[in-house]
Structure 1
Amino acid sequence: MGGLEEWKVLGGEGDQAFPCLEKLSIQWCGKLKSIQVLFPALKELTLSGMGGLEEWIVAGGEGDQVFPCLEKLSIERCGKLKSILICGLSSLVEFGIEKCDELRYLSGEFHGFTSLQLLRIQDCEKLESIPSVQHCTTLVELNIRSCRELITIHGDFRELRSSLKKLVIGNCRLGALPSGLQCCTSLEELWIVSWGELIHINDLQELSSLRRLSINGCDKLISIDWLGLRQLRYLVKLTIMWCRSLSYFPEEDCMGSLTQLRELDIGGFSKELEAFPAGLVNSFQHPNLSGSLESLWIYGWDKLKSIPHQLQHLTALKGGGATIASDLESIGNEIAKKCGGLPLLAKVLGGTLHGKQAQEWHLILNSRLWDTEDGNKALRVLRLSFDYLSSPTLKKCFAYCSIFPKDFRIEREELIQLWMAE
């Protein structure tokens, strides 16, 4: 239906056309700009690949009048979409916006979204700001990734203090944590990944329920609230790595009070540091940490000369002790060069090598798969990633996926039925 420009129902009122329809997916209607139909029972709506859609407006009234039962809304791959008018959808539970390259604005605020639990915005490269979500008092997860021009999240998060459990924000230009986030005592996961303008992280101590904290790839970050971090008594996993300007660490113990900490990934700090920070070294000797830490990954940096011998105090480490990944970056750079500017190869290999030891990285680097033309090289890398899947069941599932054509939206139930029918 690539030539469809307008959808209207003839010979009857729109709100009587599909009175029982609960799930609707409109895909690859590149010229469709208007839908003059009401869906009083609709629960799930997906708009995908609509190249002609430039603005999303709910015609015919407020959101609750047009979609009184809508629970899940997904807007994906609408390349010309520049703005979305946020209107009251009181029954909406999940709202996702993905790969809308020209999207710059979400107009209005999230007023009336009294049931919203998940808000996901990903790969909207030109989106600069996000309206206030402070009225979404049922919001459990906010996930924002690869919105590289994002500089502002409006509003105050303190109204989410008893609902928000997971906040993921990656690849953006935010310079500070959202206002009022420190009041979110229900927060269990906080991911701060590749914030281009972030310099300081403050006020962590009130996040008393936090179990996972990841601070990764923030090149301008120079300081962390270490005193507040020490008070996160329920923290199970902590990641602080590839923050190239981070040079301040307290002399005293940084994290010895984290009695529940099981996994720690650290390293990739300022190039000016020649020794492992004393505060981290002292933490390794603390009885709390030495008896609880089960997994430790250390990522080196240019001037780091040695790994502290105090690692021997970490007696609870599993799998043979700490993993020192100081040479993985240089190996990774060489592998990236061999990808020849092909993003698919880099992405596939990144997923394949994640969590592998340096020896396996070397095997890939020196593999014969590079000794071929680009087309065959891509196929060989894809085959390599398939071979590395640990589960035979997963391999069979991927084989079934090959039945469907490129860019086809695979329905989970259909895939399961094919799988079961074997």
Structure 2
Amino acid sequence: MRMEVFLDGRGWLKLDKLIDVFFSNCENCEEIPMFGLLPLLKYLTLDGLNNLQSIGPSFYGGQETRVMFPALERLILSNMPNLTAWAEAEVMPVVETRKCREQVFPRLEDLKIKNCPKLITSPSHFPCLKKLEIDTIESDFPLTKILSSSSPTSLEVLSISRISSLTSLLPHLQGYQKYLRELTIEDCEKLRELPDDLHSFQSLIILRIFECPSLQSISYQSGQKGPPSLRTLEISSCSELSYLPSEMIESIRCLEDLSVTRCNKLVSISIDLGELPCISRLEISYCFELRNLPKGIGRHSKLTKLTIGGFSKSIDFNSFQTVLDDIGQSKSLRNLSLNGWKHCDSLPYQFQHLTSLESLTLFDFGMEALPEWFGGLSSLSSLSLCACYKLRHMPSKEAMQRLKKLQYLIVTCCPLLREMCREENSPDSEWSKISHIRHIGGVGPGF
């Protein structure tokens, strides 16, 4: 408890030079040492203390310590299934001009709490916290307490995962609109609403929302804009999400990365990419009720990566054809991943004009052969074919030889093509068409 160890024959050795402590898997430990006494400690991890039920005041070093954890920059609490309480420090009276909370964690910038499901209390003294991650706890009270104690001007990154009681972010983020730069929300099954003032998050650059099945829409009022600095917006596996405000998304002029995946009730993403001059990556996939798609793909000069497909079978035909035409006209695309349907017996002919394409992934198409014009994709260096169960034939050997830059061929779940490539010397073998490619996976004589 004095942060000293006894060395036989040499007396007591102070541990006051320690900078990094990893205190792990001491399953019978019931009380945490007085780490707050270590004047140089920068990094502290408490992990796998299964028997620990509380982190008491002694953790901070006792009242005689004027500044507790004076150098600590990063603190991690993880995998403590019985931890229920994390107590406040017992702070000594100080001069009136000095705030009490500045005596505790005066330099702590990074706090992570993971897999402490029973934790229901936490301290309220984090004056300069920049990054907060909370993952797998039942109560949202620690989140409330920590955010209420931190300075809104300091917190830049907030990650919230698997907080089972969390229903709304509205009360938690009050005051953080001006400086928060990155917000990630994941697997919060009861979360119903996001802040309705997203437009006021002036510094927000990254917004990620994953696996929030109770979230039905993003709150939005007509004429309201999105976060003005947002560059990355990712939404995935929100099974009840049925509405995305296109007007709000189009207002984010610096948006570079937009990804919407596995949102099974989403019907429309009718944004015009012409309103997003900086967009370079777009992914819209596995939204099986989606009937309306973005427009303006072909007119966009900065779009380099596109993943698209897995829509409703009743998708608007004209909308889909427009997208295919737009893709075929693109001069900037370098990476394309397309999810088709099993009844698609041919590749969209529009793709033969994608001479700048470097990487192509085709998933779930029903064609038996790749077209001869495939050999005109002169910049192609990587080709992946996945779940094309009817595919038997590659283009002709002459067409494949024209793909001078093709270095990688990956074939997955294409059983007929694999069979056709297995017999190296068979007159019907497809192997001779592709054997010159340097890196091949999934097909060939060895498979």
- Relative to the length of structure 1, the TM-score reads 0.68
Aligned to 1:34: 55
Alignment partner for residue 116 of structure 1, among 155, 160, 163? 155
Q: Please tell me whether Structure 1 or Structure 2 has the larger radius of gyration of its CA atoms.
A: 2
CA contact under 8 A between 2:289 and 2:311: conserved in structure 1?
yes
Q: Distance in 1 between matches of 2:338 and 2:123?
A: 44
Aligned to 2:111: 73
> Counterpart amino acid of 1:118?
V
CA contact under 8 A between 2:291 and 2:316: conserved in structure 1?
no
Alignment partner for residue 281 of structure 1, among 324, 328, 340? 324
Q: CA deviation at 1:119?
A: 1.2
Q: Distance in 1 between matches of 2:344 and 2:124?
A: 53
Q: Distance in 1 between matches of 2:211 and 2:316?
A: 28
Q: Distance in 1 between matches of 2:327 and 2:161?
A: 38
> Counterpart amino acid of 1:316?
S
Alignment partner for residue 258 of structure 1, among 300, 314, 317? 300
Q: CA deviation at 1:222?
A: 0.5
Aligned to 2:179: 138
Alignment partner for residue 78 of structure 2, among 6, 24, 48? 48
The secondary structure found in structure 2 opposite 1:40 is: coil
> Counterpart amino acid of 1:191?
E
Alignment partner for residue 219 of structure 1, among 254, 264, 267? 264
> Size of the alignment, in residue pairs?
329
Alignment partner for residue 358 of structure 2, among 302, 318, 323? 318
Pick closer, same or farther for the CA change 1:217–1:357 going to 2, 3 Å.
Answer: farther
2:26 corresponds to 1:6 = no
> Counterpart amino acid of 1:27?
D
Q: CA deviation at 1:233?
A: 1.0
| Aligned Cα root-mean-square deviation (Å) | 3.4
Q: Distance in 1 between matches of 2:46 and 2:167?
A: 27
The secondary structure found in structure 1 opposite 2:311 is: coil
Q: Distance in 2 between matches of 1:177 and 1:357?
A: 40
The secondary structure found in structure 2 opposite 1:91 is: coil
Q: Distance in 2 between matches of 1:283 and 1:362?
A: 28
Q: CA deviation at 1:201?
A: 1.2
Pick closer, same or farther for the CA change 1:183–1:272 going to 2, 3 Å.
Answer: closer
Matches within 5 A, 1:186-201: 186-201=229-244
Q: Distance in 1 between matches of 2:101 and 2:192?
A: 28
CA contact under 8 A between 2:298 and 2:331: conserved in structure 1?
no
Q: Distance in 2 between matches of 1:87 and 1:208?
A: 38
Q: CA deviation at 1:330?
A: 5.3
Pick closer, same or farther for the CA change 1:302–1:151 going to 2, 3 Å.
Answer: farther
- Give the share of equivalent positions with the same residue, in percent: 30
Matches within 5 A, 1:208-357: 208-227=253-272, 229-249=273-293, 253-273=295-315, 277-286=320-329, 290-301=330-341, 304=344, 306-319=346-359, 322-327=360-365
Task: Show structure 2 runs of 5+ residues with no match.
Answer: 1-25, 61-67, 92-99, 366-384, 390-407, 419-439, 442-447
Q: CA deviation at 1:68?
A: 1.8
What are the Cα deviations for residues 284-336 of structure 1, in whole angstroms up to 9, with x where unaligned?
354xxx211112111023555654211223232124xx43212577589xxxx
CA contact under 8 A between 1:231 and 1:257: conserved in structure 2?
no
The secondary structure found in structure 1 opposite 2:77 is: strand
